[in-house]
Amino acid sequence: MSRPGRSSPDDGIPAAEERLLRHVDGRLHPDEQAALAAMLAGDPELRRRVAADRAADTAIRVAFAPVLEEPVPERLRRVVRDGAARRRELARMAAAVLLALLVGSGGGWLAGSSRQDGAPAETLAEAAMAAHRTYAVEVRHPVEVAATEEAHLVQWLSRRLGARLVAPDLSRFGYALMGGRLLPASDGPAAQLMYEARDGRRLTLYLEAERGDGETAFRFVESGKLSGFWWREEGLGYALLAETDREHLLPIARGVWEAVQRGS
Amino acid sequence: MGASPEAIAACLPALRRYARALVRDPAAADDLVQDCVERALSRWRLWQPTGELRAWLFSIMHNLHVSAARTVAREGRPVPLEPAVEPASAPDQLDRIEAGQTLARLARLPEEQRSALLLVVLEDFSYAEVARIQGIPIGTVMSRLSRARAALRDEMAETAILRRVK
C-alpha cells in the first residue's frame, strides 16, 4: 500500500485525506499515527468530522444488522442445495472420465484387427482419423467455411447434425480455429472443426450425431503419428486428433469436454 | 479454499444484508442474492481456488447489481428517496434523527460509492479487496470512499476542507 506521506497508487486522493479515511476505518499504519495525531490536535473541525463518520458507520451497521439475524429464505437455501447436487453429479462424471483414461490407457489401441468394443464405437475413431488424414494436409482448402464466419459455421453444422454444436475456444492451448466442414458418415452427416497452432500443427475435432450408442468415457487411440481422444455424450460423439503425444493432447481434450459442458 | 455448499450457505446472511443495503426492497434483494448464488454455482467448475470465497461471491453480486442498475437507469424507473429501512432504536431522539438522515443520504449515493462504502463498513473488506470486487484501482476506491463519506456528512464545503488538509 502507500508509503507514509505519499499519495495512493493511481493518485486517488491526497495523502492527508487517506490518512483520515484509514483512521476512521481503524486501518491506519502505525507509522502514520503521529502524523494523524498532529493533524487532529490543532483542528476541532477534523475531530468533529471523524466522529461524524464513525457515527454514520454505526448507524449503517445498526440499521442492517437485523438482516443477519433473519432466517435465510427456503428458496435461497434450495438454490445452494440443488447447485451442490448438480456439482456432485458433474464431479462424478469427471471422475469417471479420469478413471476411464487411467484404465483405458493400456487398452486403447486401435490397430489392425485388435478391436476392443463393438464395431460402431470403433467407427467413430476410424472415421475421424480418416477425415484428419484427408484434410489436415490441405494447404489451399483445409476447411469449407472459415472461422471468420464462425457463427454461421456452428449454426450450419448444428442443423445438419441435429444437435447443438460448440466450437471450443482452444486459444489457451495455442490452437486457433481455422473453420470446419461437413462430411459424409455412415449414419448421417458428421462435422470436422480444424484448428492450427503457430508452428503449423493441425488439430481436428470430429463430431458425429448420436446413434443411440450411449455415453462412453474417454478413450485414447493411436495410429502412426496420429493420436487422439474420443468419447460419446448426450447428443454427439467427439474425436479430438492431432499429430502429437498423449500428454500434450489430454489437457486439450479436457478443455473441449469442459467447453461442451458449459455450452460455450 | 474450499467452495463447499456449506461454505456458500454460510455466506448467505451476509450476502442478504449487503443486497438489502444496496437494493432496499427485500424481495428484490433476495432476487439479487439468488441470481448471485446461481451464477456462482454455474461458474464453480471454472473457479480457480486461489482467491477467497467471500470476496468472489461479493464480486459476482456487485457485477449483477451494476448490470441491473444500468437497466433501471435506461428504463427510467424512479428510485425511492426514502429508505425502506427504519433506523433501529437509538438512545435518544437526536441520534434517531441523525441516523435517519445518514440512511437517507446513503440511499441517494451514486451506486458505486454506496457499494464501496458498504463493502468496507458492513463487510470489513480491505481496500485492496474492494478494488478487486469493483474491478478498479485502489486509488479509485479511496476516492469513492472519500466522496461517499463527504456526502453522508452532507458537507457542501468538503472541497474547502480537503484543500485545508495538506
Instruction: Give A38-75 pLDDT, tens digit per residue.
Output: 999 989 999 999 999 999 999 999 999 999 999 999 99
Closest Cα in chain A, distance from residue B82 (Å): 14
Q: Mind telling me how many Å the CA of B106 is from chain A's nearest CA? A: 9
Residues of chain A with Cβ-Cβ distance to B33 below 8 Å are: 76
> Quick check: B74 contacting A, CB < 8 Å?
no
| pLDDT for res A93 | 74
Q: Is B17 in Cβ contact with A53 (below 8 Å)?
A: no
- For residue B97, the Cα-to-chain-centroid distance in whole angstroms is 23
Nearest beta carbon to residue B13 from set A9, A45, A68 = A68
- Cα–Cα distance for residue pair A192/A243, rounded to 1 Å: 16
What is the model's pLDDT at position A210?
72
**Distance from C-alpha of A125 to C-alpha of A259, rounded to nearest angstrom:** 21
Which of B5, B122, B152 is the closest to A84 by Cβ?
B5
In this predicted model, which residue has the larger pLDDT, B38 or A90? B38
| SS3 (DSSP) at B60 | helix
Kindly determine whether residue B146 and residue A73, on different chains, have CB atoms separated by under 8 Å.
no
- Tell me the residue type at A234: E
Over residues B83-134, the pLDDT tens digits come to 455 555 555 666 777 788 889 999 999 999 999 999 999 999 999 999 989 9
- The CB-side HSE value for B166 (13 A sphere, CA atoms) comes to 0
CA distance A202 to A133: 11
- Put simply, the answer to whether A90 touches B45 (Cβ < 8 Å) is yes
Three-state secondary structure string covering chain A: CCCCCCCCHHHCCCHHHHHHHHHHCCCCCHHHHHHHHHHHHCCHHHHHHHHHHHHHHHHHHHHHHHHHHCCCCHHHHHHHHHHHHHHHHHHHHHHHHHHHHHHHHHHCCCCCCCCCCCHHHHHHHHHHHHHHHHHCCCCCCCCCEEHHHHHHHHHHHHHHHCCCCCCCCCHHHCEEEEEEEEECCCCCCEEEEEEEECCCCEEEEEEEECCCCCCCCCEEEEECCEEEEEEEECCEEEEEEECCCHHHHHHHHHHHHHHHHHCC
Cell 461471491, located at residue: B57
Residue of chain A whose Cα is closest to the Cα of B151? A53
Please name the residue of chain B whose CA is at the shortest distance from the CA of residue A27.
B126
Averaged confidence pLDDT in chain A: 83
Q: What confidence tens digit (pLDDT) does each residue in A144-198 have?
A: 999 999 999 999 999 999 888 999 999 999 999 999 999 988 778 899 999 999 8
Rounding to the nearest 10 degrees, give the CA dihedral for residues B60, B64, B65, B70.
140
Judged by a CB distance cut-off of 8 A, whether residue B27 touches chain A is no
Is the pLDDT higher at B25 or at A25?
A25
Sheet bearing A190-197, strands edge to edge? A145-146, A175-183, A190-197, A202-209, A236-242, A226-233, A219-223
> Nearest residue on chain A to B30, judged by CA atoms?
A76
Are A189 and A182 a contacting pair, CB within 8 Å? yes
Q: Identify whether the C-beta of residue A221 lies closer than 8 Å to the C-beta of residue A206.
A: no
Chain A contact for B145 (CB, 8 A cutoff)? yes
Q: What are phi and psi of B121, to 5 degrees?
A: -75, -45
CB of A104 within 8 A of CB of A219?
A: yes
Give residue B164's pLDDT: 52
A233 compared with B15, residue with greater pLDDT: B15
Grid-cell match 449503517, residue found: A60
Interatomic CA distance for residues B62 and B135, integer angstroms: 10
Q: Specify which residues A230 forms β-bridges with.
A: A219, A239
On whether ipTM exceeds 0.95, the answer is: no
* pLDDT tens, residue by residue, A2-20: 445 444 445 579 999 999 9
Q: Does B149 touch chain A (CB under 8 A)?
A: yes
Interatomic CA distance for residues A171 and B132, integer angstroms: 26
